[in-house]
Amino acid sequence: MFRIRNILSSLLCLAAVIGYLPLASYLGAIPKVAIPLAIIFAFFAERKELALKERYSLILSIAAFLFYALQFNRHNVVQPAVEMLAIFLAIRLVGEKSPRNFMQSLTLAMFCLAGSTLFDLSPGFVFYLIALLFVFTVSMVLLTFQSRAAAFEPDSRELRSIISVALLQPLVAAPLIIFLFFILPRTQLPVWHGLTRAGADRSGISESVKAGDKGSISTGSSVVFRAETKKLLPNQLYWRAIVLNSIKNDEWIRQTPPPEKSTIKDGKNVSLNIFLEPGRIPFLPTLNRPERIIGYRGQPHDDRVFPAPRLTGGLRSYQILAKTDATLSTIGSFNKKFYLQPPANTPERLKSLVARAVTGIRENKQKLDAIENIFAKMNLSYASSGLPTGANALENFLFDAKKGHCELFAISFATALRLAGLPSRLVGGYYGGDYNELAGYYVISEEKAHVWVEVWIDGSGWITVDPSRFAVNFEESVSRKRTDFSLKMRLALDSLSYYWNKAVITYDFESQLSAAVRVSQGFQGIREIRFNLRKAAPYLALPLLLALLFMLLTTKRKTPEERLLAKFKRVTKARYGILFSPSSGLHEAVAHLDNADVREFVATYTAAIYRDRKLTEAEIEQLSETVRRIRKTPPV
Amino acid sequence: MLGFMAISGVFGLRNLQKLRIALKFPDEIYCNTPSQLTLQLCTKRKFLPHYLLTIAIEGSEIMCHLLAPKQRQERKVTVTFDKRGIAVIRKAIVKSPFPVNFFVRSNIYMLDESCLVFPCPIPLPVGWHDDSTVDAGSLSQRRKGSSTETESIGAYTEAEPLKQIHWKLSARHDELLVKEMSAESGKPVIIELDGLPGGIEDQLGHAAFLINRLILEGRATGLRIGDKTIPPELSRSHRLKLLAELANHV
């Protein structure tokens, strides 16, 4: 015999663990420690029937509410709310366990899990959700027994039966849950993105760069976005996000560019879908060079930069039409002087080096070649740490340390170009990405953040130059192609995040609408298909066979007595219009009928059946003959 | 959550379906006296059991925690009928909060089971004695040792003295059984309904009391009711026949 109350207590601890785990890393110290302690207390105290009295629980809950309510403000909503839920859960776990309290505790565990999605809505959430759903359902069913039949102590067979039927519910509900997820009306913006998200401001790219302002660069592996497209060549993987076109206090910043009617020529068309990870991204990443973003509601800038809509969360996936290996030129003239101002702290040695190299050269293209030559001969190398810092960082990088990261390469190269009188600008974005062969998309993480240069050459337009390529170790350090096993595993796991992002996170009202349109178009298409039985037969045969088998197995086979009775009823109804109701007996139904055959049948049949014996073969034969006579004899 | 709630609703609904409910009545049911009916419960389901069923019959409720497929359960339910004659129990209401204790769903099963309710036995007023109510003999006090030989075994109806209960046999059955004694002696009597005191319902109650008392004392008893006379006999079936006559009296 089992005590339902004990089982419920253990299940409650399990539910609390499931609710707590995904949330733990985002909680402050108090709730982070309080819940595990409360779970341990609840687990062991139940056997000794120890619990915090209801009135103390109430006082603690009010104190927790006041404490967290004071921390609420417009910019800090999520953290206090979630921590308050966690503390409430801890208080309930150590408190008395009435059926109502059990119910509240389970709901709080569910809320804690839901609260974790305000910080991170990763596919891992699904596993916790499924686990909690099963624990929740079993607990709810047991709680029903506890509330309605507290004295009931099931044996192992009964307990197994109760738990099985409880587990069956989420299993049966799963298809319906998925169906409802896709059809229920959704908000136009996913609700999560409207809330402040802790730690979601990272994107790896900066809105300004300055030589020597950091000693090392980001190597974070957090995914920034995924790009669904065919596999591209490594030198085509420049993901364009921002153009830094002006210098202010030696810092490269972005100002509204001078008007230019830009156009993209040549190159190969590429269409790709971008799925952004949650986080604030001021400019939408695109593939160099982007023609347009389908459905983009903002105003693209003339230098092919696409500011993210005001609510960054409003656009989590979009389709880009781009051209790789294309030239970006301008129709008509534009203000080239805007792109010619060099930084004030340009090293004298660089100035003289550039001056020497371009003396006597008139053609812009030749000037570019000359500067590229300078960098190629400098024997620079790429590094992500131990970078030169301070006011002389550029000089230090070029002439002493000779090692730096993409920002230093780009700043020094663009500076050199401007010194040579070539309009130039920095382009910030990402370079490279790991291609997931399994699902056909690139994963671009923070560490892929990159800066390169665009230079204006008359007659050619804006040409992309990646100065980091002048590093002697460029291949190994920047465009290294990893093929190790861990990367493959990581990409395989990332497929989950990708599909999760694609199917759940970015599934909004628009996706729903387009899915509905596709389905309705699909139905229209069906009408146009001419049904060809011969072709369809193999596809229909198996389900039909299975259905037939199922019917044969599940349909109760009739006994000879049942068949005989059914025949008798059919014939009597046809001949004399007698209706047999399930509640009335045979005698009653035929009482008013003066027919010897009918009476004979009823007498013989009931004599056997009411004595709970089967009809003999002779009786079946005789009764069949009687039924035949009834059928043949017209009513008088 | 919506999906889960919908499915739990279906489970709750199905939990109340495909039940078979039948009632078994005791041989003797008296008006205004609690009677124990036997409720038989089984299911047509093949796989899933039924859980947490409460079955309400004529205001009395019994609970069944779990009814497995192919299992048959019998429960006693106490019902008091307030009128003599044929009583019909039309329905049983099956309720359950399963699977989650948010709502209690119910389902009605039509039973249309009928039974005959005898008039409630009313003892005669103390000291009342009138020979005109009896024929072919007179009322006498119960005689010691009036019967010693067991004639048959029958169900306990609460009318028999406790000493008549066959304890050994009862222990092997679910219900109490009594030894029905053969009559040794006693003059046959006929109860005249019209001669009994009080209104018609009181007369019927007194007659029921007398029939039970006299037959148990071992005296052959008959009944004159209106123009109809039932000759005296001494058997359990005769006693039930007389009580049925009283129950059906218009």
Q: DSSP secondary structure string, B110-151?
A: EEEEEEEEBPPP-PPPTT---GGG-SSS---PPPTTS--SEE
Question: What span, in angstroms and rounded, lies between the C-alpha atoms of B207 and B243?
Answer: 8
* Residue A400 is assigned to a structural domain of this protein: yes
Domain identity same for A600 and A535 = no
* Residue A48 is assigned to a structural domain of this protein: yes
Least CB–CB distance from B101: residue in A144, A165, A184: A144
Is residue A201 over pLDDT 50? no
Place of tokens 């800090």: A76
Q: What is the pLDDT of residue A479?
A: 58
Name the pLDDT band for A310 (thresholds 50, 70, 90). Answer: low
Name the pLDDT band for B188 (thresholds 50, 70, 90). Answer: confident
- Phi and psi (nearest 5°) for B230? -105, 120
Is residue A193 over pLDDT 70? no
Q: What is the pLDDT of residues A498-526, one digit of tens each?
A: 777 766 666 666 666 777 777 676 666 55
Minimum distance, in Å, between the CA of residue B3 and any CA atom of chain A: 5
Residues 6+ apart with CB under 8 A from A78: A115, A118, A119, A195, A196, A197, A198
Instruction: Determine the structural domain holding residue A528 and report its residue range.
Output: 509-554
Q: Which CATH architecture has domain B2-117?
A: Sandwich (2.60)
Name the pLDDT band for B143 (thresholds 50, 70, 90). Answer: very low
Domain identity same for A260 and A336 = yes
Minimum distance, in Å, between the CA of residue B88 and any CA atom of chain A: 15
Domain boundaries, chain B: 2-117, 131-147+183-248
Q: What is the pLDDT of residues A171-188, one digit of tens each?
A: 888 888 777 777 766 554
Least CB–CB distance from B52: residue in A148, A173, A184: A148
Beta-bridged to residue A321, according to DSSP, are A271, A292
Name the pLDDT band for B182 (thresholds 50, 70, 90). Answer: low
Domain identity same for A546 and A626 = no
Is residue A549 over pLDDT 90? no
Minimum distance, in Å, between the CA of residue A50 and any CA atom of chain B: 26
* Residue A565 is assigned to a structural domain of this protein: yes
A573, A560, A569, A572: which is closest to A619 by C-alpha?
Answer: A560
Number of inter-chain CB pairs under 8 A, A vs B: 73
Name the pLDDT band for A48 (thresholds 50, 70, 90). Answer: confident
Find the mean pLDDT for residues A77-106. Answer: 90
Contact A304, A286 (CB under 8 A): yes
* Residue A224 is assigned to a structural domain of this protein: yes
Domain identity same for A570 and A549 = no
- Phi and psi (nearest 5°) for A45? -70, -25
Among A442, A464, A492, identify where a domain stops: A492
Is residue A477 over pLDDT 60? yes
Q: What is the pLDDT of residue B138?
A: 39
Is residue B163 over pLDDT 60? yes
Domain identity same for A535 and A576 = no
Domain identity same for A238 and A356 = yes
Assess: ipTM above 0.90: no
Minimum distance, in Å, between the CA of residue B5 and any CA atom of chain A: 9
Q: Which residues of A touch B97 (CB under 8 A)?
A: 144, 147-148
Sign of CA dihedral A296, A299, A302, A305: negative
Name the pLDDT band for B186 (thresholds 50, 70, 90). Answer: low
* Residue A613 is assigned to a structural domain of this protein: yes
Residues 6+ apart with CB under 8 A from A294: A318, A319, A320, A321
> Which of A177, A556, A583 should one mutate to test binding to chain B, selecting the residue with the greatest count of B CBs within 10 A?
A177
The residue ranking higher by pLDDT, A516 or A234, is: A234
Query: How far lies B22's CA from each of A358, A586, B58, B60, in Å?
Result: 108, 20, 14, 15
Find the mean pLDDT for residues A586-598. Answer: 81
Q: What is the CA radius of gyration of chain B?
A: 23
* Residue A418 is assigned to a structural domain of this protein: yes
Residue type, A355: A
Q: Is B244 helix (H, G, I), strand (E, B) or coil?
A: helix
Find the mean pLDDT for residues A565-572. Answer: 88
* Residue A259 is assigned to a structural domain of this protein: yes
Domain identity same for A65 and A147 = yes
Name the pLDDT band for A577 (thresholds 50, 70, 90). Answer: confident
Query: Crossing angle, helix A78-94 and helix A99-116, to 10 degrees?
Result: 150
Burial call A102-131: b when 16+ CB within 10 Å, e when fewer: bbebbbbbbbbbbbbebbbbbbebeebbeb
Domain identity same for A533 and A595 = no
Q: Which residues of B touch A583 (CB under 8 A)?
A: 110, 112
For chain A, the domain total comes to 4
Tokens of A287: 């593939």
Contact B169, B85 (CB under 8 A): no
Domain identity same for A389 and A479 = yes
Domain identity same for A28 and A44 = yes
Is residue B71 over pLDDT 70? yes
* Residue A566 is assigned to a structural domain of this protein: yes
Q: What is the pLDDT of residue A11?
A: 93
Domain identity same for A513 and A570 = no
Chain A: residue nearest B99 by CA? A141
What part of A 128-167 touches B (C-beta under 8 Å)?
Answer: 133, 137, 140-141, 143-145, 147-149, 152, 154, 158, 161-162, 165-166
Find the mean pLDDT for residues A228-237. Answer: 90
Name the pLDDT band for B150 (thresholds 50, 70, 90). Answer: low
- Phi and psi (nearest 5°) for A329? -120, 180
